[in-house]
Structure 1
Amino acid sequence: MRRLTALAGTLLATLLLMATVLTPTAPAGTVHLAAAGFKVTGGRLYDATGAEFVMRGVNHAHTWYTSRTTKALSDVKALGANTVRVVLSSGDQWTRNDATDVANVISQCKANKLICVLEVHDTTGYGEQSAAVTLAKAVDYWISVQSAMTGQEAYTILNIGNEPWGNTNTSAWTADTKTAIGRLRAAGFTHTLMVDAPNWGQDWSFTMRDNAASVFASDTLRNTVFSIHMYGVFDTAAEITDYLGRFVSAGLPILVGEFGNTHSDGDVDEDTILSYTQAQRLGYLGWSWSGNGGGVEYLDMAVGFDPAQLSTWGQRIFNGADGIKATSREAAVYGGGGGGDTTAPTAPGTPTVTGVTSSGAALSWAASTDAVGVTGYDVVRVSGGTETALTSGSTTSATLTGLTASTAYTVAVYARDAAGNRSTRSGTATFTTSAGSGTGTCAVAYKIASQWQGGFGADVTIRNTGTTAVNGWTLRWSFANGQTVTQMWGATPTQSGAQVSAVNAPYTATIPAGGSVGIGFNGSWTGTNAVPTAFTLNGASCAGS
């Protein structure tokens, strides 16, 4: 489970929930041949049938609420989850979950057709939390319950240790994680392994991000996925998309193993977490089903473990946009909604490109066919031997935004079916975005609405003077006197020195032809607060208005 970045030490006794799972058969200490189970290929997770699997689920604090587990797993399945991360204890901080208990948890996951992610919680905050234990102790635990897990590789994922480092000496995370992976492989575990980030899971030091490639390469089976926990550190869209996007671009498997809708260390941007993971086909596991304490009871999805009393957070993650109900697909190893179908859709047609601008383009392609029905399409950028996800949708067209001016793009499309199978790639199409210089079809009005000592409020109106709608935009300007944006609405800001970039919010993304949208912000200033005079929209200069 996760802890606060700044306040980590104060909440270590907090009951935060996580769900992880393992499964039975075979003597501990024996080396086994690779069993049919989950596999990582090209940065994606595939189940034992060969179908891509995207986790959509929750954490459940089994080790503290063992009597609640049977009903909890049934309830989260009924609400649409395909995965549950189960909190276990090695016995170092809490009551040990032995091999019999682990086998029972796995059996219940299978009975509910849930994929079980099993984690050891006693490592939480090691190096900063005095009671926490090392990853080495977690590996000792896994070896002691190996008999419950062998043969269950198709249904379980082994999450070595929860948030295995606090905020001190995080550089040791890399070597410790490699050693733990090596010991598990030497002991005969062929499961997909999951590793948590340091910094109480939030990796604000970027230790996991910057060392993920070498950790992945250290796994002799190349079957490790990375888990980031997103709480107050991830309170803006830019932070979320940048962190996850770097893994996607590098072809490394990443999921959000814990997150909430708020936290005492900051207001989490759960909407971006949900929408971006869906667009990029990345897994997420929300924290947590029920039973939180220590001041974070607001993280309970079900009040008192009652599925009929979902909290605001519970309603959001299960029933909201890009939530579990809308996006979860049962693992194909259980039937996957396609009756066990393992036949991929036919390849989509080669995309046709139109409407190329300095920052976007429109694509369309011929539909795929499939026996159980095509459920969606994924557009990727192809560069050499790598692919980068651009967008996903359910129709045979897509609008690309946020592209770089004067840049060549080669794009292709994949199709997905209801069972989670993915087609072969379509043919590729290449286009080059325009230069983005000169005056575009936009006008910007900037007005200081109020001003006080050291602070001010401003309103910005963006008008589309063209004949076609703008779908997705980035507005840029520079301050002349060292002003700083402190808060913005209608868009998400980033600032580097004097330059400000404002990216549309979902509700301001479209500017109709001849129409306008408005954003506002609060800022700080010292001495002089001159109005910016030059603006660009998607790289093109805008007239004053």
Structure 2
Amino acid sequence: MKRRLAIVGAALAAAAASALVYAQPASAAVGLHISGRNIVEANGQTFIMRGVNHPHVWYTSQTSSFANVKALGANTVRVVLGSGKRWGPSTDIPNVISLCKANKLICVLEVHDTTGYGEDGAAATLDEAVNYWISQKSNLVGQESYIAINIGNEPIGNNNPAQWTAATAAAIQKMRSNGFQHLLMVDAPNWGQDWQNVMRDTGQTVLDADTQHNTVLSIHMYAVYNTAQKVIDYLDAIQAKGWPLVIGEFGWQFSASEVDHETILAQAQARGLGYIGWSWSGNTDPILDMATGFNPAQLTTWGQRIFNGANGIKATAKEASVYSGVITSPSASVSVSPSRSVSPSVSVSPSRSASSSPPPAGRTCTAAYSIVGQWPGGFQGDVKVTAGSSAISGWTVTWTFANGQAITQSWNAAITSSGSAVTARNVSYNGGLGAGASTNFGFLGSWNGSANAVPALSCSAS
């Protein structure tokens, strides 16, 4: 599982003032690729990862996790795989990719066996990880719009972290010489935390090793980054060089010595950086679980924060345009055709919304209903509840389905149905809203495939 390093007092040196800014050339637009500091899709749309890590190799039966993290707002899932050196081998990549595509998630696939190489004697080398990817190449080619390959998790420990540069460059070159055109992700040394600044100082060598200029660096932030200044200093140093970066793992500050997740979330949003939190469930250190027992109805403190809090996943994630078929810009939205069909979703309908009638005086709320997506026999809905001009302590939303729809699963609300009439009430953590503040709840439903009208909503507050 995830090793959290408590390296007390490890300071990150500031980037040298004379450092040159590196402008990574744009790569050929096969699928997900790098343009400048950004990850973009084949159509040029910027894609910012907002997701979670899922420990798939140890919990292969927990396939509902893909739908559950999507329902909570994620646009990305980083999937833990094994090469067979320590875990696995993971031979179910086609099913993993299918689950990601069915739930409209971008998949970051990673080999976990490399964790802590040089310090952990059981760890695999990056070269061994590349051999695993080569063995799976037939399952990966053609999926460049939907997946990124994270070559090896935290591939170097704290012993001789300087070996990271040559080993990572060689791994990238071997991937390219074997015909991979995917977006590649490479983790930092020092168990991913780069507290000795090897990646910060030699990242250009690694990026230059990619003949397709399609590699993104990944920093893992745990106890090394336990103050706002340490987080900011590291992100400043990478940004000053113009390098693409994602925060591929991070936890939360459950004690003063742990990572300052509030700063990570705020800085990632301000800088347009992707982030992928650790982890959905199943940790041997369960304080890092976002959901207890893989149950989305039992979000932990960490789960509530990363999904539902400020700068969190629900508030900031945007679905990849390869699924929605829409390019967004500040001034226009242009429809395009996805490069490949998505199964099992036969068609994707644009989100439709309907707001409730003007609320009565006093404590009030409004509610807006959206169809996030639909497929034959099923659909996903979302309702946004917004307090009026005064704070509220609770809310109830009601509506009546007109076309025989029925709710089959829900989250962030207690939902009951009587025939076509539906009542949704707040749960313990999202009833209290300040004036003008909002919260969302969602559900999966069934429909008859011919009509799925948006119902009129009524919202009452207490």
Give the alignment of 1:459-538 within 5 angstroms: none
Partner of 1:318: 307
Partner of 2:360: none
Structure 2 residue 75 is matched with structure 1 residue 82: yes
- Residues 46-97 of structure 1 deviation map (CA, whole Å, 9 limit, x = unaligned): 01221000000000000000000x2000000000000000000001111211
How far apart in 2 are the matches of 1:267 and 1:110? 34
Give the alignment of 1:264-279 within 5 angstroms: 266-279=257-270
Q: 1:52 aligns with which of 14, 39, 46?
A: 46
Counterpart secondary structure, 1:166: coil
Deviation at 1:169, TM superposition (A): 0.7
Q: 1:263 to 1:159 in 2, by over 3 A?
A: farther
How far apart in 2 are the matches of 1:35 and 1:256? 23
How far apart in 2 are the matches of 1:272 and 1:6? 18
Cα pair 1:300 1:313 within 8 Å, conserved: yes
Structure 2 residue 145 is matched with structure 1 residue 154: yes
Structure 2 residue 186 is matched with structure 1 residue 195: yes
Deviation at 1:343, TM superposition (A): 6.0
How far apart in 2 are the matches of 1:292 and 1:142? 25
How far apart in 2 are the matches of 1:203 and 1:197? 6
Cα pair 1:38 1:192 within 8 Å, conserved: yes
Partner of 1:61: 55
Counterpart secondary structure, 1:227: strand
Deviation at 1:344, TM superposition (A): 3.6
Partner of 1:328: 317
Cα pair 1:195 1:225 within 8 Å, conserved: yes
Cα pair 1:35 1:190 within 8 Å, conserved: no
Counterpart secondary structure, 1:183: helix
Q: For 2:95, give the aligned amino acid.
A: N
Cα pair 2:193 2:222 within 8 Å, conserved: yes
Q: 1:418 to 1:211 in 2, by over 3 A?
A: farther
Give the alignment of 1:370-385 within 5 angstroms: 370-372=331-333
Counterpart secondary structure, 2:225: coil
How far apart in 2 are the matches of 1:418 and 1:258? 33
Partner of 1:36: 30
Q: For 2:171, give the aligned amino acid.
A: A
How far apart in 2 are the matches of 1:299 and 1:418? 40
Counterpart secondary structure, 1:67: coil
Structure 2 residue 330 is matched with structure 1 residue 341: no
Q: 1:50 to 1:35 in 2, by over 3 A?
A: closer
Q: 1:160 to 1:265 in 2, by over 3 A?
A: farther
Structure 2 residue 213 is matched with structure 1 residue 222: yes
Give the alignment of 1:200-215 within 5 angstroms: 200-215=191-206
How far apart in 2 are the matches of 1:263 and 1:232? 11
- Residues 288-332 of structure 1 deviation map (CA, whole Å, 9 limit, x = unaligned): 000001xx2100000010000000000000000100000000011
Count of equivalent residues: 318
Q: 1:261 aligns with which of 252, 256, 260?
A: 252
Cα pair 1:303 1:310 within 8 Å, conserved: yes
Deviation at 1:115, TM superposition (A): 0.1
- Residues 438-485 of structure 1 deviation map (CA, whole Å, 9 limit, x = unaligned): xxxxxxxxxxxxxxxxxxxxxxxxxxxxxxxxxxxxxxxxxxxxxxxx
- Residues 476-497 of structure 1 deviation map (CA, whole Å, 9 limit, x = unaligned): xxxxxxxxxxxxxxxxxxxxxx
Give the alignment of 1:157-172 within 5 angstroms: 157-172=148-163
How far apart in 1 are the matches of 2:120 and 2:256? 18
Counterpart secondary structure, 2:104: coil
How far apart in 1 are the matches of 2:241 and 2:59? 39
Q: For 1:74, give the aligned amino acid.
A: A
Deviation at 1:39, TM superposition (A): 1.2
Identity %: 59
Partner of 1:497: none
Deviation at 1:281, TM superposition (A): 0.3
Q: 1:208 to 1:307 in 2, by over 3 A?
A: same
Q: For 1:4, give the aligned amino acid.
A: R
Deviation at 1:258, TM superposition (A): 0.5
Q: 1:75 to 1:266 in 2, by over 3 A?
A: same
Q: For 1:109, give the aligned amino acid.
A: C
Larger Rg over CA atoms: 1
Counterpart secondary structure, 1:342: strand
Partner of 1:3: 3
Q: 1:321 to 1:344 in 2, by over 3 A?
A: closer
Cα pair 1:232 1:264 within 8 Å, conserved: no
How far apart in 1 are the matches of 2:72 and 2:170? 38
Deviation at 1:220, TM superposition (A): 0.3
How far apart in 1 are the matches of 2:2 and 2:301? 20
Partner of 2:114: 123
Counterpart secondary structure, 2:223: coil
Gaps of 5+ in 1: 8-32, 346-369, 373-416, 420-545
Q: For 2:304, give the aligned amino acid.
A: Q
Gaps of 5+ in 2: 8-26, 337-462
- Residues 391-436 of structure 1 deviation map (CA, whole Å, 9 limit, x = unaligned): xxxxxxxxxxxxxxxxxxxxxxxxxx999xxxxxxxxxxxxxxxxx
How far apart in 2 are the matches of 1:301 and 1:115? 19
How far apart in 2 are the matches of 1:132 and 1:185? 23
How far apart in 1 are the matches of 2:305 and 2:327? 32
Q: For 1:49, give the aligned amino acid.
A: N
Q: For 1:297, give the aligned amino acid.
A: P
Cα pair 2:327 2:335 within 8 Å, conserved: no
Counterpart secondary structure, 1:233: helix
Deviation at 1:242, TM superposition (A): 1.1
Q: For 2:311, give the aligned amino acid.
A: D
How far apart in 2 are the matches of 1:263 and 1:208? 27
Q: 1:252 aligns with which of 240, 243, 248?
A: 243
Cα pair 1:2 1:201 within 8 Å, conserved: no
Structure showing the higher strand proportion among its residues: 1
